[in-house]
Amino acid sequence: MADKLEKPQQITFDVTDRCQLRCVTCSKWKTVASDVISKELTTEEWKKVLDDLRNWLGEGFWFCFSGGEPFLRQDIFELAEYANSLGINVASMSNAFSIQHLYEKIIDSPIKSLNISLNAINNPIIHDESRGRQGSYEKAIDAIMTLKKLRDEKHKDLGINIATIVFPENVEEVIPLVEFVTKNKINGIMFQLLDDKESFHGYNYQRGCNTAGYKMPKELKVKYSNMAKRMIEVADRLIEMKKAGHSIYNSYEQLEAMKVFFNNPDDILKEIICDVGSTNYAIDPYGDVRLCFNMEPVGNIKESKPEEIWVNENSEKCRIRTKTCKMYCRMLNCNFKHNFANFNKSFMHKVKNKIIKILTGKA
Ligand X SMILES: C[S@@+](CC[C@H](N)C(=O)[O-])C[C@H]1O[C@@H](n2cnc3c(N)ncnc32)[C@H](O)[C@@H]1O
How far apart are the C-alpha atoms of 83 and 52, rounded to whole Å? 11
Q: Which of 109, 113, 117, 204 binds ligand X (CB under 6 A)?
A: 117
Mark the segment that binds ligand X (CB under 6 A) among 65-73, 121-129, 240-248, 349-357.
65-73
Concatenating the DSSP letter of every residue in 268-296 gives: HHHH----GGGTEEEE-TTSEEESSTTSP
If DSSP codes are grouped into helix, strand and coil, which group holds residue 40? Answer: coil
Regarding 298 and contact with ligand SF4 (CB under 6 A), the answer is no
Q: Is 186 in the site for ligand X (CB under 6 A)?
A: no
Count other Cβ atoms within 10 Å, centred on residue 112: 16
Q: Choose from ligand SF4, ligand X, none: what does 211 bind? Cβ within 5-8 Å by kind.
A: ligand SF4
E strand or H helix that includes residue 63: strand 62-67
Which contiguous run of DSSP H or E holds residue 233? helix 218-243
Q: How far is the CB of 199 from ligand SF4 (least distance, A)?
A: 7
Instruction: Please answer whether residues 342 and 335 qualify as being in contact, where contact means their C-beta atoms are separated by less than 8 angstroms.
Output: no
- Cβ-based nearer residue to ligand X, 202 or 297: 202
Query: By C-beta, is 109 or 164 nearer to ligand SF4?
Result: 164
Going by C-alpha positions, the residue among 221, 225, 230, 228 that lies closest to residue 173 is 230
Q: Residue 35 CB, nearest distance to ligand SF4 (Å)? A: 16
Yes or no: say if 278 and 6 are a contact pair by the CB < 8 Å rule.
Answer: yes
- Residue 66 binds which one of ligand SF4, ligand X, none, with CB within 5 to 8 A depending on kind? ligand X
Residues lying near ligand SF4 in the complex (CB under 6 A):
19, 21, 23, 26, 28-29, 67-69, 95, 200, 211, 274, 276, 292, 294, 322, 325, 327, 329-330, 335
Residues lying near ligand X in the complex (CB under 6 A):
19, 23, 25-26, 66-67, 69, 93-95, 117, 163, 165, 192, 194-195, 197, 200
